């Protein structure tokens, strides 16, 4: 009996010690992620700085659309003295969309801060966010001049269609950059940026999908058709196959070849498409050439990668 009592007491002491250890661990948890390899490599820096061209475009488009004022008003230190965007203005948004776009805008401010504080950066490049630029994009997408010219700021639907043309490029650029980044600092930053860019694109596409059969006034063209044409234009400009899809696709291109709805654009395995910096510039410039600036970046992008393409003309 004495042996049994001692045995029970020993088990009690051991179990109590285990509980104390668990409680102690809970009070002092390990929250950091393992760090493998180098923190930051030169190519990592170049790829993340390249993304600033897209992040600046999104940031001022969303800030002006929601608030009627841009980065120079909200976080002027991040503009670093770069010129104000051309033609940006407040959009005539419904109350819900205004809140969504305002949140997106502040998220983009955070992205600029995260990138510049991690890898450094450059002044905001010259941006063209004018109605005229968006009208050219829509004319090129549809293959003829819209009358009246498309104006992204005139109402909620037009602004959402214009927004469809922007965050997706950041998404595919980050997917494309991922296999070429090696340092754990760069990978951590890229993953966080990609998550939010993908979320923004998904929200825009989901809202537009709810209105897919609606005619965009006064053009007698459905929302879905606009998205298909914009995606087709980006594929043509990038010249590297189909990596962009509208809200409706042939069934064989849908998820598991079973759907024609296409709220998220993805490949046959439902993985996000990727684009190289050259492809991205061909689309963002609107010229089909990474060497010829235009479109959203009329004087070209900045950073080592974009400048190298401009210098190699």
- Mark out the alpha helices in 120-219 (DSSP H runs): 131-142, 156-164, 167-177, 184-210
Per-residue pLDDT for 2 more than 90? no
**Mean pLDDT in residue range 100-124:** 98
Q: Would you say 298 and 128 are in contact if contact means Cβ atoms under 8 Å apart?
A: yes
pLDDT value of residue 173: 97
- Confidence band (pLDDT; 50, 70, 90) for 21? very low
The residues, any chain, with a CB within 8 Å of residue 3's CB and separated by 6 or more, are: none
- Confidence band (pLDDT; 50, 70, 90) for 34? low
pLDDT value of residue 10: 46
- Tell me what percent of the residues of the chain surpass a pLDDT of 70: 88
pLDDT value of residue 238: 97
Residue 218's CB: how many other CB atoms inside 10 A?
9
> Cα separation of 167 and 177, whole Å?
15
Q: Would you say 64 and 70 are in contact if contact means Cβ atoms under 8 Å apart?
A: yes
> Cα separation of 64 and 101, whole Å?
10
Complete domains list, the chain, with CATH? 40-311 (1.20.1260)
Segment 53-85, tens digit of pLDDT: 999 999 999 999 999 999 999 999 999 999 999
- Confidence band (pLDDT; 50, 70, 90) for 39? confident
Mean pLDDT value across the chain:
91
pLDDT value of residue 42: 83
Segment 127-162, tens digit of pLDDT: 999 999 999 999 999 999 999 999 999 999 999 999
> Cα separation of 252 and 268, whole Å?
9
Per-residue pLDDT for 7 more than 50? no
Q: What is the pTM of this model?
A: 0.89
Q: Would you say 70 and 60 are in contact if contact means Cβ atoms under 8 Å apart?
A: yes
pLDDT value of residue 18: 44
> Cα separation of 115 and 119, whole Å?
6
Segment 164-213, tens digit of pLDDT: 988 899 999 999 999 999 999 999 999 999 999 999 999 999 999 999 99
Per-residue pLDDT for 19 more than 80? no
pLDDT value of residue 277: 97
């Amino acid at each position: 009996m004495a042996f049994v009592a001692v045995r029970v007491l020993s088990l009690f002491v051991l179990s109590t010690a285990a509980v104390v250890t668990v409680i102690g661990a809970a009070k002092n948890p390990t929250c950091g992620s393992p760090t493998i390899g180098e923190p930051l490599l030169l190519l990592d820096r170049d790829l993340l700085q390249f993304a600033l061209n897209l992040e600046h475009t999104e940031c001022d488009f969303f800030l002006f659309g929601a608030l009627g004022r841009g980065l120079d008003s909200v976080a002027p230190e991040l503009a670093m003295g770069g010129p104000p965007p051309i033609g940006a203005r407040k959009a005539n948004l419904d109350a819900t969309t205004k809140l969504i776009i305002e949140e997106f805008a502040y998220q983009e401010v955070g992205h600029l801060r995260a990138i510049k504080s991690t890898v450094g950066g450059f002044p905001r490049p010259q941006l063209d966010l004018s109605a005229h630029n968006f009208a050219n994009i829509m004319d090129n997408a549809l293959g003829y001049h819209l009358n009246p010219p498309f104006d992204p700021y005139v109402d909620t639907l037009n602004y959402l269609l214009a927004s469809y043309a922007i965050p997706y490029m950041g998404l595919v650029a980050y997917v494309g950059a991922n296999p070429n980044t090696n340092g754990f600092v760069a990978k951590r930053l890229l993953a966080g940026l990609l998550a939010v860019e993908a979320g923004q694109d998904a929200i825009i596409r989901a809202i537009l999908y709810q209105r897919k059969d609606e005619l965009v006034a006064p053009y007698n063209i459905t929302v879905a058709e606009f998205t298909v044409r914009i995606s087709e234009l980006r594929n043509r400009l990038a010249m590297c196959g189909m990596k962009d899809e509208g809200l409706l696709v042939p069934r064989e291109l849908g998820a598991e070849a079973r759907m024609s709805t296409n709220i998220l654009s993805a490949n046959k395995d439902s993985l996000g498409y990727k684009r190289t910096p050259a492809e991205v510039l061909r689309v963002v410039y609107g010229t089909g050439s990474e060497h010829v600036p235009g479109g959203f970046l009329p004087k070209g992008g900045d950073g080592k990668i974009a400048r190298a393409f401009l210098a190699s003309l």
